[in-house]
Chains A and B, each alone.
Chain A
């Protein structure tokens, strides 16, 4: 069977899920049954089919499972958001349309050779840094819970970090393709640890510095961790030197510790993380109420969950009992309603997507493609780890989104762009692998 037919078949679980999911919402809130809401499912499946056709005609050899897995998550996320708020689901569906347009445009623009991106690597790097710093620009920057993650342009609110992560990965993949040999060959052993050559340490220190600046400016430990973690992953893949990772991670940990104890907001987040039930922190604005409620919601879910549509999101008075249920805490809501079992299911899908991405990286014939695919997969997996880790109190809670599930336009657009790049790499890699 051809790759594309396998992809088409693999879309069946997603279509089943979206059908059953919406049906469950209808049955539960029978007063909501209307033709308009029933069409959500249909329209969404139509979009998936269109995307499949685009891939079929432009990237016939691309990985057949990546897109169906993404569609599965997107369907699940849409049903989840529909269950929270119908209006949000409509907006989310519109963002999916935009995301798919970006997806198609990326594929069409770069299908001849996506490696042209290397030519613009410094432009892209600059774009990434500008995007990251945009939320601090007075007038358009928006502060949420002390962190600067979003910009507000009147009608559109945007989280530029979502796009910035792709820019930075493209830059790093391209930069490390050139310097990896030198990094390895010039390395010296000192006190039993292999250090990169001083000459090339500079750029790496710059990346470390950028992550620290990120921490200070954006004041968000999670996104810094995500960026720096992805950087270390690419660095390791490029050089195969575990010592570089150890050095890099130690530097990050030191920096994080230093700023956590000096930057007020970061310190507050860490306090809230360690003492979620402290009376003072619990009542404080931006304190531990959110993480405490996240844990209560998960406890309420148990192994099998409270049942779809059963979780408490708002108090009868209208106040949130699970704040930011559609964005930051959507994983807690999933656990609440579908239990440990459902939550694990979602994590497995993310793991499978990462696995496809890593496989693409292994299959790729040139260093840039390998590093790009590995970097994109790593940043994707780390984003999931950072937000879910925050929700389950493994690390301090931060404001990044759960890819394809959380409500939010920038997240959807950026992650579709990421998947488009992975498919482009995959198509070329598999063709070359077959062609010899």
Chain B
């Protein structure tokens, strides 16, 4: 009977080989698909078991932390009166992630992409998250939010030479802790009028108004076609692209220098300058300033938007046939920008023409206190020559000294800047006031962009410039 016994055993071996084959199927060949299966909540639940590292502002205050819950789980807690909800974002199992929580999630959960050793696996070492130190400045952020005083809008402050973002304020804010509740989250998400979850500093697109003349001026000076003293006719009603263009209040300036034209924000002069430079030159400088692509800030891609000429919801280059270059040059036409982009413009001028990558991360520190990553200043582009930038700085200094931006002036410290007032709806007098600038004028430490959304009759000079003044004052205190 030995032969049949042996054959029975062979059948058992075959059956077991099938078991091995099927186990391999799920563990190796189809593992990826199973992990991605919508019904598979393991990864999400797994994340709950990780003690995410804290996030701190630049003063070391906790702006996001993990608290231990039942059964070795952790959940996220944020300050009760959060200063940085949009920048920090949130991380909840049922809600997903946003902001820095999402962008730096690998570091925060301690995933460094290393291959864990078998010993690590066997001992099941607990994974600990790294700490994220941000560049965010609580004092200045508080000043920005206070200065906006409940008006919808945004303030962005950067260090021109390092790109560190000190202020990224978006009003209205929201309570990160509250959105753990499904109904609250849906209510916030559905509030289209206030859009509290929208990061107005990086996602909202507004017409820039006259602040864009800084870009036009940079192109004019750096291209060598113009100097600050070039004289151009500043009368109102000049034909631009075949249609008469008016100055603010219909004022006629006669022949004036570019310096005067920036100080008094003369539309007709800058429109003519751009027409002289041509679409190609304007497009080149806009590209150097970072228009047309997502800003390189360390936030998730769907929480930032590119600035530029928008046609049918998409950015087109300034060379497009749809663009009226003269009106674009003064911030009209189809131009839409984010406050972060305009802060970048101011910072580039302040940094003698070098555009730096904006950083929200200052450094990442592991649980043992070692620095894993440092935010080294990174140059994104050389936008203009140092001399052109210096000339533009002086021209912007004039704006605050004696022009439209005097409300941004500080006691004992010279400020450079440019105001803007984009008309949203002339019939109801709805405007988008702007101020961009930097201080101190001779050695810029901070670059700023301020805007207020749908301001009733507000002008850049009387509405946005005072906000910039308060924030810069706090920073230079």
Contacts and interface: CB of A to CB of B under 8 A. Distances in A.
Contact of A389 (B2, B22, B120): B22
B223 interface: no
Contacts of B20: 343-344, 347
Q: Which of the listed residues B12, B18, B73 has the most CB atoms from chain A within 10 Å of its own CB?
A: B12
A237 B1 contact: yes
A308 B122 contact: yes
Nearest to B36: A299
A296 B8 contact: no
Interface in B39-60: 39-42, 45-46, 48-49
Given A237-B8, A316-B73, A385-B15, A302 B27 contact: yes
Interface residues of B, number: 48
B444 to A, nearest CB: 50
B24 A321 contact: no
Interface string A164-204: 00000000000000000000000000000000000000000
A303 B27 contact: yes
Interface stretch (A2-10, A141-149, A348-356): A348-356
A392 B30 CA distance: 12
A378 interface: yes
A392 B1 contact: no
A24 B48 CA distance: 23
Nearest to B26: A298
Interface string A113-139: 000000000000000000000000000
A233 interface: yes
A300 B42 contact: yes
A374 B8 contact: yes
A306 interface: yes
B45 A362 contact: no
B28 interface: yes
Interface string A301-321: 111111111101011101001
Given A308-B124, A321-B42, A335 B5 contact: no
Contact of A394 (B22, B31, B39): B22
Q: Which of the listed residues A292, A299, A305, A381 has the most CB atoms from chain B within 10 Å of its own CB?
A: A299
B13 interface: yes
A352 to B, nearest CB: 11
A405 to B, nearest CB: 14
Interface string A367-389: 10011001000100110110011
A58 B372 CA distance: 66
Main SS class of interface, B = helix
B19 A299 contact: no
A307 B41 CA distance: 19
A304 B32 CA distance: 15
Main SS class of interface, A = helix
Contact of B22 (A300, A301, A314, A393): A393
Given A350-B16, A394-B18, A28 B8 contact: no
B171 to A, nearest CB: 35
Contacts of A378: 8, 12
B412 interface: no
Contacts of A343: 20, 23, 27
Q: Which of the listed residues B4, B13, B32 has the most CB atoms from chain A within 10 Å of its own CB?
A: B4
Nearest to A28: B124
B23 A300 contact: no
Contacts of B118: 304
A104 B374 CA distance: 68
Nearest to B22: A392
Contacts of B3: 240
Nearest to A373: B5
A347 B1 contact: no
A47 interface: no
14 contacts: A24-B123, A24-B124, A237-B1, A300-B42, A302-B31, A316-B48, A321-B41, A335-B23, A347-B19, A358-B9, A367-B1, A382-B15, A392-B19, A393-B26
Interface of B: 1-9, 11-13, 15-16, 18-20, 22-28, 30-32, 34-35, 37, 39-42, 45-46, 48-49, 69-71, 73, 118, 120-124
Question: Lowest 6 A-B CB distances belong to which pairs?
Answer: A307-B121, A299-B34, A392-B22, A298-B26, A299-B31, A316-B73
Given A308-B121, A340-B24, A344-B23, 5 more contacts: A233-B8, A237-B5, A310-B121, A378-B12, A394-B22
Interface of A: 24, 27-28, 233, 236-238, 240, 277, 282, 292, 295-310, 312, 314-316, 318, 321, 335, 339-340, 343-344, 347, 350-351, 354-355, 358, 361-362, 367, 370-371, 374, 378, 381-382, 384-385, 388-389, 392-394
